[in-house]
Every structure is written in structure tokens, then in C-alpha cells.
Amino acid sequence: MSRQGGIRFRYLRRDMVQNKGVNLTLLLMLVLSAFLMATGSMVMERLVGAVDQLFDVAKPPHFLQMHKGEYDEAALERFAAAHPEIDSWLIEEMLGFDGASLAWERPSTGESGDLSSRLIDNLFVTQNEEFDFLIDETGAIPEPAVGEVYLPVGYQQSFDLQAGDELRIRTESGIRVLRIEGFVRDAQMASLLSSTRFLVSTADFEALAAAGGGTPEIIVEYRLDDPGTGADFQRVYEADAAVPKNGQGVTYEQIRLINAFSDGLVALALVFVSMLVMVIALLNVRFVIRGMLTDEVREIGAMKAIGLPDRMISGLYLLKYRAMTLSACLVGGAAAVVATHLLTGGIEDNYAEAEIGPATFLVPTLALSLVYLFVVGICRRVLGRVRRIEVVNALVHGSTLDERQTARRARRQARRVRRGRLDGYRGGNLNRRLAMLELRSEARSWLLIPLVFCLASILMTLPMNLYTTFDSSRFGTYLGVPDSELRVDLQFSDGLDALRGDVLTAMGNDDRLTGVESYANLTYRIEGDEGWETFRVEVGDYTQSTIEYIRGGRPGAGQIAVSALNAERYRLSPGDVLAMRLGDDEVVSVEVSGVYQDLTGGGYTAKMHGEVTADAAAYVVFADIVGGGTPAAIASEYGGRFPNATVLPTREYMKQTLSYAVDSFRGAALLALVSGVAVAALITSMFLKLRLASDRRRMGMLSAIGFSARELRNQVQGNALVAIATGVVAGAVLSATVGESMVGSLIAMAGLGITDLSFIPNPLLVYVAYPLLLIATGYLSTVFLTAGLRGADKSGWLTS
């Protein structure tokens, strides 16, 4: 080992031993930051790889159109022949059964249950021949034999189903039993949110159709020469009046986005948490280095005096932070491998096991390299102060400042002395007065604590606000759905208008129900970039509607409100006039009253004031409950009375529809809570350890003139409590203002129909419990650190 290398090694070993507490805290912070960054990047890489793996085998469509009701197959043939950009296309027939019509039984144990708790559409299909395949757990394309059925992976997880269990389907002709042969992953249906597919043989599908009880539907699916043109193709498709479109249309981009959205949120949350932790760590590194330069300024002056260059001196101190950061990256990276394996178990179940490739190693390596370079770069920048240290000032005055800086510091200290004088003291608690004066005069030194607790508060609050927002029953009002307890859908059945009348009469005479409102779904046409395009409109009375509008307000007579995506597509704003045509009728003009957000119908919806009692494509009825009975029980009762109607407890349906995002936000919120509390405890401990070391002389003087150890502890604890509370309050305010805007902008970029997110927080949790938890964590850390003042040799502090 060279002489220079020996000097560096001895310094590194000595510093690590002498400052164990500070160095360990810094190391833990850096490990946590590296761990979170590596885990987030690895989860994202595994997720993208798993989705790509599934898509390579499943071959989902580049555009699909769901449809209920009659359709003209010849019109689809003509449309396909007229558009050479179509590579291939198909019509998938489906049979929808209500969850209450499906039950399961385990012959080996006698266990049984039903699927009535699942309110989404259960669609029985056969395996496609060209594309859009359902994939089994081995990655193969299964072909069920007669009497076999493959269920969605999500149902396996929700109901703990096993291969060999029996699925019992209640049809109009009796119970039909199929053996569960396995479980399938569906690349397409995740994008529809409210539907899932069961795979059966062709013979069983035909038997189910003949038995009755199922609702027939179709999906028209297209694979294009250029997958990126799905949105343009959708406009072309909807401009053709002859093709079926009574349902949701989805593009390939939306399929990919929603497939990756829920698990991708966890990865993004990890990266976000890592960045906040890294900022906190860097604040502490800067604080520690500046304190170290002040403490060792005479040693630095001596090294400069004997001719050691600034670069070598900086390198000597930088060595420790290089070693700590490198160690943190290695430890954090190793821990991230284990954490990623645990976090991606669900991804592999729902999608596929991503292949190990160059990106598997490159992505986390790049993430850890960025952490290392960023931290070391900041350390090098702070250590640049070594160049400005003058030998005489360092050796004689023990100062890191040059003459000009010394003069500025003298003026600042004079101001501090003036602020810290007791001239205005008129009695009262002298100890508290001294503590506040010290905090005021040393405000810059104490700034680290409020900054850290502000960031920790933001770190904990934002993910929880997202979780409570998506999990709230009020969230539907931000997405174009009234805040009601019961929803009845009437679609594409014989005698639809008569059925609507019967349902409204029954609900109107039911003392348990109130606020019964009926809306009709009509298909208008408006002029777009590709000519006259389909424009779905819900018509009804919106004067009492609870829907939230991001611009404008609810529609009145002669007015219409449009969803955010429709407003963007057709460049509409409140006050604009929209020309619409219903069938071959003449064009009518309505004024745009407002813009709202919507996730349903692909996000392209509209709401117009009016009354339609006949010839609508579908109707929807909303109601609230005021008498006895639960929404689920009343929904089941009305579903039995009107078998051609779909009756749902609205809030539970919304909860299940958004469960893909809610579960991810819950995990992110828990992770942020643990990280925020850990960071708060670590930083408080490290800061106070350094603060107590630098304040020994002052506390020694106070002790010499009669202040007790208890009073000295109270001074430190009081100052820490004020700094902590200031940071926590600032963090809560920033989370509710700037944080809400920032998160809303990120979600708006996803293009799902949410363009202006407003938090629906749990006030007691995020504005009372969380702040109290952070304050308690910081204060208890302070109590623990100051406990040693009681038995300390205070006389020795005067010479330290």
C-alpha cells in the first residue's frame, strides 16, 4: 500500500470509529435510498417484461369494440374490406352471466361457495384462432375439452379456487356443471375494468347459449399494420354508421396502460419515496460535512501549511463518503433483489414470468449508479469549501472562512447577539426564554429538522391521500357517476321501454327508496375530423345531480355536458355550441354547459338535459335507500323480480371496478408510512447527536452558572419540538396544495379520463394522526438522545 493510500485508510478507520452514531445513521439513510430506488426500477423492469411476455403470446387487439344487441355482420365485412390497414379481425361471441348465477364446489372436501360478491360481467367465451388468446399458467394457449372450464387468475386468488373444483352455472334450463381445469391470464380484459372472461369449449358454449339465462354480447377486434394508429382507427370506425358500437371501445395503448397501471403505481411510489429519502440524506450529508469541516479546520489548516494540495485534502474526506455510498448501493441492491422477488409475485401470477435479459441487470445497475454519482457529486461540491479555507484563519482562529466571509459572519453574529439579548426580559420562565432565543439566533443551524419533517410529512401524506381518494364512495362523483346507492341497467332486451316503466313503477312505490332518477342512453352523431362520428349521450334530469364538474356546471334545458376526453377530442369548452344528429333526423344545436371527468365508456361520454321515455338504446336508473335493507339485499331482490335488468349496489360496484388501483395505493401508502417514520427517527437522532456535541461549551457555561441538567434537556427538547412541529405543519399544507396539483398532473398524463384530481382525504388520519405520529417520533428521539445529559461531566464541556 502506498504512503498516500495508508494515510487515507487510517483516516477512514479513525473517523468511522470516532463518529459511529453519525456515520451509521448516514449509512442507513443511504442504504434505504439505494434500496428503494433499485427496488422501484427492478419492479418496473419486471412489470414491463411480464406485460411484454404476455402480449407476445396473447396478441391482444389493437382496437376492440364491445357490443350488446343485434348487429349487421355484412357491414363489418364491408368495413374490413374498405380499410387495408387492417391486418386481421374477428368477432368474438360471449355469454354474460351474473355472479349470483355462478357457484363452485370442491368434491374432495365438500367446500362450496358462489361468485355473487363479484359484480363485474362474467363472460363465457371460446378460444380464438388468430389472436387475442387466453393464456394458462404455463404460458400456453389452452383448448378446454368438453366439460372443462378455465377461470380468470383473479378469481383463483379471490376465492382460493383450485384445479379440480366444479363450477355450477344456473341457466334457464337448470344447473350445468363444468370442471375447473385451470386458470387463465387475460391481456385484454384488464383494460375494460368491469368485465372478465371464462374459457370453455365450443360445445359447452353452444350448450350454455341454448340453455338460456346468459346475455349475448360480442367484441369486434382488429389487429392493425401499425399498432400506434389505434386511436385514429377508432375515429374511422365510429364514423361508420353501419358497424356495431353499443358498448365500450378500447385501443391497444389503453390496454397496455391499464395492464401496467396498478402494479406500475407501486414501482413509481418506490421511486418517489427513494427520491425524497435521497433528498433528506443529501441534506444530512451537507450538514455533516459542514460540521466536520468546522470541527477539523485546524487539521485542514495544518495539512495545507505543509503543502498538501486542496484536491488531496478534499479527496481524503471524500473517501469516506465514497466508501459509504458504495457500501449503501451494494447492500441496498442486494436487499432490493429479495424485495423485488416478493413484490413481483402477483405480477407473475397476473401476467407472465418475465425472461431474464440484459435489462434485468442493466436497469438496477443504472439506478444504483445514479444514486452513487448524485450523492458523491453533492459531497464533492460541499467539500469544495476546502479550497476557500485560509491557513492563518484555520490555525489561529479555527475558522473555515476567509476575511470577507469572516466579516459577514461577524455582522450576522452581532445581529444574533442583539436578537438573543435578555434586555426585554420581564420575568417568567427564564429557561424557556433562553431556549427560544437560542433557536431564533441559530435558526439556520436548526433549519435541517423542519426541512426533513416537511419532506417526511409529504412522503407519508400523498400516497395515503391517493388511497383514500380512490377508495372513497364519493370518488364516483368525480368520474361522471352520481353518488347513489342503487343502480339499475336496462339494455338491449325485448320490450325495453315496458321494462323501464315496470322498474320505475316498482321503485317509485317502494318506501325504502328515494331519489329515483332515470336516464336514457342515445347514440348521436357529430362532425369530427373523419366526418360524422358516433357520440354517446346520456339524457335525463341533472338538476339534482351530484356529479362534480372541472369546468362549467350541470346541463339545463338545451345544454349538454361532455367528458374531459370528449372535450379534448372535439376542442369543446363551456359556452361552445355543439351540433348533433340523431339517426337521419335534422341537426340540433346544444350549448356545452360544463366538462366532467369519466372513466366509464372509455372516457368518451356526454350528459344532456331532457326526457326520453321510448326508443333509447339503454336506460340506467339510480336510487338511494332510506328505509330498511342494505344496497346488496335490495339489489338482489330487484334482480330476482326483473331478470332482464342488471341491479347493482353502486358503491360496491365502483369499489370492485377500481380495486386494481386501490390495492396498489394501499401498499404504497403503507410503505410510505414506514419509511417516513423511520426517516424522522434517524434524522432526529443524528442531528441532535451532532448538535449536542457542538453545543457543549454553551451548555457547560449554563451549567456553571446554575442551570440544572433537567433545564438543559428541556431547552433542547423544546427547540426540537418547535422545529419538528413547524416542518410537519408545512408538509401537511404543501401536500394538500402543491402535492395535489403535482399528483393530479401525473395521473392526467395517463390519459384515462382523469384530468383534474381532487383529493378526498381522511382528515383525522392525515391532518391529525399522521402529524401527531411524526411529532411523537421526533420528540421521543429527542428525549432518548438528551437522556445522557443527566450523568454527563459538564465541567469538561467548558474546555471541549
> pLDDT tens-digit profile of 355-366?
788 888 898 999
Residue carrying C-alpha cell 360496491: 652
Residue 177 β-bridge partners: 168
Residue 412: the pLDDT is: 56
Report which of 340, 260, 265 is spatially closest to residue 55, judged by C-alpha positions: 260
Does residue 408 sit within a domain? no
DSSP 792: S
What burial letters (b/e) apply to 118-149, b meaning 16+ CB within 10 Å?
bbbbbbbbbbbeebbbbbbbeeeebebeeebb
Does residue 78 sit within a domain? no
429 versus 35: the higher-pLDDT residue is: 35
Contact 654, 475 (CB under 8 A): yes
Residue 413: the pLDDT is: 55
Q: What's the rounded Cα separation, in Å, for the pair 758 and 761?
A: 9
Domain final position from 617, 643, 669: 643
Residues 38 and 121 in one domain: no
Angular region, 523: left φ>0, alpha ψ -120 to 50, beta rest: beta
Q: What's the rounded Cα separation, in Å, for the pair 271 and 280?
A: 14
Sequence-separated (6 or more) residues with CB below 8 Å from residue 41: 267, 271, 363, 364, 366, 367
pLDDT at residue 569 is higher than 60: yes
Angular region, 592: left φ>0, alpha ψ -120 to 50, beta rest: beta
DSSP calls for 594-622:
EEE---GGGG--EEEE----SS-SEEEEE
* Rg, the chain, Cα only: 33
pLDDT at residue 304 is higher than 50: yes
Is residue 68 helix, strand or coil?
strand
Does residue 199 sit within a domain? yes
pLDDT at residue 403 is higher than 70: no
pLDDT at residue 605 is higher than 80: yes
Side chain identity, residue 70 = E
pLDDT at residue 200 is higher than 80: yes
Residue 735: the pLDDT is: 87
Is residue 295 helix, strand or coil?
helix
Confidence of residue 751 (pLDDT cuts 50, 70, 90): low
> pLDDT tens-digit profile of 682-708?
888 877 877 776 666 677 666 666 667
Residue 1: the pLDDT is: 47
Residue 382: the pLDDT is: 79
Contact 339, 39 (CB under 8 A): yes
Residues 465 and 542 in one domain: no
Report which of 679, 13, 4 is spatially closest to residue 323, judged by C-alpha positions: 13
Does residue 462 sit within a domain? yes
735 CB-side CA count, 13 A: 28
Confidence of residue 12 (pLDDT cuts 50, 70, 90): low
pLDDT at residue 244 is higher than 80: yes
Rounded average pLDDT over 205-217: 90
Residue 16: the pLDDT is: 63
DSSP calls for 704-741:
HTT--HHHHHHHHHHHHHHHHHHHHHHHHHHIIIIIHH
Contact 301, 389 (CB under 8 A): yes
Sequence-separated (6 or more) residues with CB below 8 Å from residue 688: 716, 720, 781, 782, 785, 786
Domain final position from 608, 643, 678: 643
Q: What's the rounded Cα separation, in Å, for the pair 529 and 742?
A: 32
Residue 318: the pLDDT is: 82
DSSP 214: P
- What is the β-pairing status of strands 645-649 and 559-563? unpaired
Residue carrying C-alpha cell 411484454: 52
Count: domains in the chain = 4
Residues 446 and 508 in one domain: no
Residue 700: the pLDDT is: 67
Report which of 189, 381, 400, 200 is spatially closest to residue 291, judged by C-alpha positions: 400
Of all residues in the chain, the percent with pLDDT exceeding 90 is 21
Report which of 560, 561, 544, 577 is spatially closest to residue 480, judged by C-alpha positions: 561
Residues 206 and 256 in one domain: no
> pLDDT tens-digit profile of 496-535?
889 999 999 999 999 899 989 999 988 888 887 767 777 8
298 versus 421: the higher-pLDDT residue is: 298
Does residue 74 sit within a domain? no
pLDDT at residue 153 is higher than 70: yes
pLDDT at residue 774 is higher than 90: yes
143 versus 247: the higher-pLDDT residue is: 143
Residues 504 and 630 in one domain: yes
What value does the mean pLDDT of the chain take? 80
Residues 290 and 200 in one domain: no
Least confident range of 145-159, 300-314, 502-516: 300-314
Single pTM value for the model? 0.73
Residues 559 and 636 in one domain: yes
> pLDDT tens-digit profile of 43-57?
888 878 887 888 888
Confidence of residue 270 (pLDDT cuts 50, 70, 90): low
Q: From the centroid of its chain, how far is CA 561?
A: 28
Report which of 117, 120, 112 is spatially closest to residue 100, judged by C-alpha positions: 117
Could you tell me the CA-to-CA distances from 537 to 69, 242, 290 in Å, in that order? Answer: 18, 18, 65
Of all residues in the chain, the percent with pLDDT exceeding 70 is 79
Could you tell me the CA-to-CA distances from 486 to 199, 265, 538, 624, 647 in Å, in that order? Answer: 31, 31, 18, 6, 7
Residue 143: the pLDDT is: 93
DSSP 303: H
Domain final position from 155, 189, 224: 224
Does residue 426 sit within a domain? no
pLDDT at residue 678 is higher than 60: yes
Q: What's the rounded Cα separation, in Å, for the pair 624 and 715?
A: 58
Rounded average pLDDT over 369-398: 76
Does residue 563 sit within a domain? yes
Contact 485, 651 (CB under 8 A): yes
Residues 733 and 781 in one domain: yes
Residue 359: the pLDDT is: 85
Residues 552 and 617 in one domain: yes
Residue 214: the pLDDT is: 85
555 versus 283: the higher-pLDDT residue is: 555
Is residue 111 helix, strand or coil?
strand
Does residue 288 sit within a domain? yes
Residue 772: the pLDDT is: 94
Residues 261 and 381 in one domain: yes
Could you tell me the CA-to-CA distances from 197 to 56, 145, 202, 661 in Å, in that order? Answer: 19, 17, 14, 20
Confidence of residue 795 (pLDDT cuts 50, 70, 90): low
Residue 519 β-bridge partners: 620
Residues 605 and 687 in one domain: no
Least confident range of 7-21, 526-540, 602-616: 7-21
Where are the alpha helices (H) located in 384-442, listed in sequence order? 391-392, 403-420, 430-441
Residues 257 and 344 in one domain: yes
Range of the domain at 585: 494-643
> pLDDT tens-digit profile of 74-93?
999 999 999 999 999 999 99
- Range 630-635, long-range pairs (CB < 8 A, 24+ positions): 631/485, 631/486, 634/486, 634/512, 634/513, 635/486
| Residue 790 in grid coordinates | 443527566
pLDDT at residue 191 is higher than 60: no
Residue 377: the pLDDT is: 86
Contact 500, 614 (CB under 8 A): no
Sequence-separated (6 or more) residues with CB below 8 Å from residue 734: 454, 457, 458
